[in-house]
Amino acid sequence: MSEEVKLMKGNEAIARAAIRCGCDGYFGYPITPQSEVMETLMEEEPWKTTGMVVLQAESETSSINMVYGGACTGKKVMTSSSSPGVSLMQEGISYIACAELPCVVVNVMRGGPGLGTIQPSQADYFQTVKGGGHGDYKLIALAPSTVQEMADYTVKAFDLAFKYRTPVMLLADGAIGQMMEKVVLPEQRPRATEEEIRANCPWAIVGKPASRGRNVITSLALKSEEMEATNIKLQAKYREIEKNEVIVEMHNCEDADYIIVAFGLCARICQKTMEMAREKGLKVGVLRPITLWPFPTEEIKALANKCKGMLCVEMNAGQMVEDVRLAVNGKVDVQSFGRLGGIIPAPDEVLNALEKLVADNA
């Protein structure tokens, strides 16, 4: 049987993929440009079909804490928001990371700082990969660039969240959230049963049976030695994730003299720039980190040994470029090009920036 292809918005794809992958609970608060996630869920009424809970909270603070409470139960829970709302969630995300709970947080980024703009942006890169909340923790961050990937990486995000008992961020932007493209949705998976949760998540808060002691989920350890041990355990897990879970996509990087590094929507724009540059005889490739953390440091390092320069293109003032420079470690020139405030860079202006890089390194 052929797969059913549907046309939908990126935000809608997240909602439908969440239902399909057996999500148990969504807790959210409206904010442009991602409100269609909750709107789609409310329209679908999955509590009548799969039994999924969908609840509109009174704030993003509350929705992330509902996610925290729900994640404790061993069930698949998620929230979605956009930049200002995700800023409000940072405290909760820190608690969830420390308590080692699985959940998915979607950030459909808009331009900041402050109330900013409702137009697309990638300016929450630092907030996502460098912490955001307090303390030493990391989020696995997946950056989709198509509506199909909004669906696919929603499913992948839950799988990684449960594999490592860690929050996973799906980091998209307002353009991918709002654009309509063809999508093949994942197969409907059943929600986990109580028996499966008890078997697979022995840590979960289900009510204490006589057969075991009480389960307590907390991020508190007043004794420094205990808190250091918690941190060491977290760091060991993060090293494991860095080793196993890097996802990167490369286009024409084998023979490239110059590499454009870009994620999400920018990576698609830069592929057009790459085609334009190749028509002009410039050997250009595009490296697209799909996991922003763990970052494809090794892949970039390897390319730095054989190319003449790199251009990092982002919808921000130059954030990921810092991680690219760390990977390159001075081997080649790394330049940055970005548009701010919700403006999407055009392929020809990226080409101008690329030609400057070429001229500077000729």
Binding region for another protein (CB under 8 A): 24-25, 27, 53, 55, 57-59, 61-63, 65-70, 72-73, 75, 77, 91-92, 95, 205-210, 213-220
Q: Do 267 and 286 meet the contact criterion of CB atoms below 8 Å apart?
A: yes
In the complex with another protein, the residue whose CB is nearer, 64 or 300, is 64
Half-sphere exposure at residue 298, Cβ-oriented, CA atoms within 13 angstroms = 8
- Who's near 193: CB < 8 A, 6+ residues apart? none
CB of 6 to another protein, least distance (A): 29
Euclidean distance between CA atoms 319 and 174, whole angstroms = 18
CB of 41 to another protein, least distance (A): 14
Total residues belonging to the chain: 362
In the complex with another protein, the residue whose CB is nearer, 218 or 305, is 218
Q: Do 327 and 304 meet the contact criterion of CB atoms below 8 Å apart?
A: yes
In the complex with another protein, the residue whose CB is nearer, 130 or 208, is 208
- Secondary structure element (H or E) that encloses residue 228, with its range: helix 224-244
CB of 265 to another protein, least distance (A): 32
CB of 218 to another protein, least distance (A): 4
Euclidean distance between CA atoms 290 and 58, whole angstroms = 32
Cis? peptide before 113, omega within 30° of 0: yes
Q: How far is CA 236 from the centre of its chain?
A: 21
In the complex with another protein, the residue whose CB is nearer, 104 or 303, is 104
In the complex with another protein, the residue whose CB is nearer, 42 or 344, is 42
Euclidean distance between CA atoms 20 and 187, whole angstroms = 6
Euclidean distance between CA atoms 105 and 167, whole angstroms = 7
CB of 204 to another protein, least distance (A): 8
CB of 205 to another protein, least distance (A): 5
CB of 116 to another protein, least distance (A): 23
CB of 109 to another protein, least distance (A): 24
In the complex with another protein, the residue whose CB is nearer, 32 or 219, is 219
Euclidean distance between CA atoms 258 and 162, whole angstroms = 38
Q: Tell me the one-letter amino acid at 20.
A: R
Euclidean distance between CA atoms 35 and 50, whole angstroms = 22
Euclidean distance between CA atoms 288 and 143, whole angstroms = 9
- Record the tokens describing residue 57, joined without a space: 């909270």
Residue whose token pair is 């490239």: 256
Residue whose token pair is 């698609």: 268
- Record the tokens describing residue 258, joined without a space: 């110059």
- Secondary structure element (H or E) that encloses residue 333, with its range: strand 333-338
In the complex with another protein, the residue whose CB is nearer, 113 or 209, is 209
In the complex with another protein, the residue whose CB is nearer, 91 or 333, is 91
CB of 161 to another protein, least distance (A): 16
In the complex with another protein, the residue whose CB is nearer, 219 or 361, is 219
